Amino acid sequence: MRIAVVGSGYVGLVTGACFADLGHDVVLVDNDDQKLAALENGTIPIHERFLPELIARHRGKRIRFTGDLQSAAHECDTIFIAVGTPPTDHGEADLSYVESVAREISSAVGSYKVVVEKSTVPVYTSQWIRTVIIRNGAHPSSFDIASNPEFLREGSAVTDFLYPDRIVVGVESERCAGVLREIYAPLTSGEYYSHRDAIPRPDRAQVPPRLIVTSTRSAELIKHASNAFLAMKISFINAVASICESVGANVQQVCEGIGADSRIGPRFLNPGIGYGGSCFPKDLMAFRSVAKECGYDFRLLEEVIRINEDQRHRFLKKVRGVLWTLRGKRLGVLGLAFKGGTDDIRESPAVLLVQELLHEGCRICVYDPAAMARAKEVLGAGVEYSSGPYEAASGADALLILTEWEEFAALDLDRMRKALKYPIVLDGRNLYDPATMTAHGLSYYSVGRPAALTEDVQAEVSPGKRETA
């Protein structure tokens, strides 16, 4: 099919590349000439596994780039809106970009077209898009509006698109549903997975995926409700981790016990320094605003947000407790992205922690495999940027692990101990087994687990009790 994807940001670029890999002809539309020129030259603006390969495979063939929205809308059968919906000062989603697209494509609606919300939007947005298009001259029978929310995790977005848990399609007519079924047929029929050059199947992927057809309003709510629930799960286990620290329990063992319950499951039960990124914080605020407009006081969401913010402050307090005073201390920091596998630092708890430590007077040397360039735009010259994890730790009073990159979970611990001024590691992502760290001469502080101290540090903490420590 001929598909226009409006917006070459994170969602739009991944969506366009994956549709091309399914065999569709894709026109990717953006009003940023500089970004379009970079994409034409094969430069990918985001760090995402498999995305460069897909763009290189289909650029100039099944996918092309343009700034002419009306022409793209006129020639394509289906138009996916994937523009930004940033939060306003009051927390609602700013839908002005969505409205602008709806106005512009209205004149291109002649023969039947399907206009699809791909951006994360609040309920009733589909109705407003329809109203705007009709007000600007399109006949009501010449188009349908659909909601097709994305469930893409940064760092694994391509595989999430091609091997989804489910495909949600919100429609108001069977004709519209048929178009969306045809678009996703290579996945739902299993045809795509038989291709020799298909993107490799990840663990736990169920093939073929289930396609769920709902109303547009239900589909709009599914996206916000999904992200809110996952954020709640993260905040819940972080709250449990705080209790574990108070009573001397091990949150990893607690997670194993509750995650074995089939009603709960182990995923997203990973305590740490809190969630971040462009989705959870924005979507929770937007969902809370939607609930408020509907007359429902969704206080649970407010508590989820509060716990997440508190988790970062608790980790900062842990750093103070280990190092006593912070002014003048040199810290090595591993990780700036909000999660491993991406260069996205939006609402990153790692960056927020670095900023707070700088305010406390620390000298900081950082390393991240992908997010250094973006972090420099925010942190500037206030920190030192290193070329690797051991360089970041060199001469440091302590090492902080703030992002769960795979390479950070496979460090040469003996080399790290020698690089550090003091053998102290504070791990905000629980990447290591405490006993392994002490065996390599490192005192180890993690989240929701008892501190693992080397024998000499135990003697410092409990003088005269070395033999029983």
- Tell me which residues are annotated as active site: 279
What is the pLDDT, as a whole number, of residue 463? Answer: 55
Question: In the numeric block, which tokens belong to residue 433?
Answer: 């087994």
Distance CA 39, CA 26 (A): 14
Confirm if 339 and 155 have CB atoms less than 8 A apart. yes
Confirm if 87 and 285 have CB atoms less than 8 A apart. yes
Distance CA 42, CA 94 (A): 31
Distance CA 118, CA 240 (A): 35
Instruction: Sheet with 384-385: list strands edge to edge.
Output: 384-385, 363-367, 330-334, 398-401, 424-427, 443-445
Specify the long-range contacts of residues 410-413, CB closer than 8 Å, at least 24 apart. 413/437, 413/440, 413/442
The SS3 of residue 47 is coil
Helices marked H in 148-266: 157-162, 174-183, 185-188, 216-247, 251-259
The SS3 of residue 23 is coil
Element (H, E) at 233: helix 216-247
Confirm if 119 and 223 have CB atoms less than 8 A apart. no
Distance CA 166, CA 211 (A): 6
Within its chain, how far is the Cα of 399 from the centroid?
A: 25
Confirm if 187 and 40 have CB atoms less than 8 A apart. no
Confirm if 133 and 115 have CB atoms less than 8 A apart. yes
Cβ burial 246-264 (10 Å sphere, 16+ → b, else e) = eeebbbbebbeeebeeeee
E strands, 300-402, are 330-334, 363-367, 384-385, 398-401
Element (H, E) at 375: helix 372-379
Specify the long-range contacts of residues 199-205, CB closer than 8 Å, at least 24 apart. 199/21, 199/50, 199/54, 199/158, 199/159, 199/162, 199/163, 200/159, 201/163, 202/156, 202/159, 202/163, 205/159, 205/163
Terminal C-alpha separation, the chain:
69
Report field, pTM of the whole predicted structure over 0.85: yes
Q: Residue 281's closest CA among 307, 299, 305?
A: 305
The SS3 of residue 364 is strand
CB-based burial label for 53 (10 Å; 0-12, 13-18, 19+): middle
What is the pLDDT, as a whole number, of residue 468? Answer: 33
Dihedral over Cα of 158, 30, 7, 188: its sign: negative
Whether the bond into 208 is cis, omega within 30 of 0: yes
Distance CA 64, CA 34 (A): 15
Count of other CB atoms within 10 angstroms of residue 2 = 13
Within its chain, how far is the Cα of 195 from the centroid?
A: 29
Distance CA 100, CA 95 (A): 9
Question: In the numeric block, which tokens belong to residue 8?
Answer: 């070459």
Kindly list the structural domains of the chain, giving each domain's residue range(s) and its CATH number in brackets, ordered by start. Answer: 2-214 (3.40.50.720), 223-308 (1.10.1040.10), 311-461 (3.40.50.720)
Tens-level pLDDT at each residue, the chain (469 residues)? 999 999 999 999 999 999 999 999 999 999 999 999 999 999 999 999 999 999 999 999 999 999 999 999 999 999 999 999 988 888 888 999 999 999 999 988 888 999 999 998 988 999 999 999 999 999 999 999 999 999 999 999 999 999 999 999 999 999 999 999 999 999 999 999 999 999 999 988 899 999 999 999 999 999 999 999 999 999 999 999 999 999 999 999 999 999 999 999 998 999 999 999 988 998 999 999 999 989 999 999 999 999 999 999 999 999 999 999 999 999 999 999 999 999 999 999 999 999 999 999 999 999 999 999 999 999 999 999 999 999 999 999 999 999 999 999 999 999 999 999 999 999 999 999 999 999 999 999 999 999 999 877 776 666 554 433 3
List, in sequence order, every residue forming a beta bridge with 78; answer none if it has no partner.
3, 114
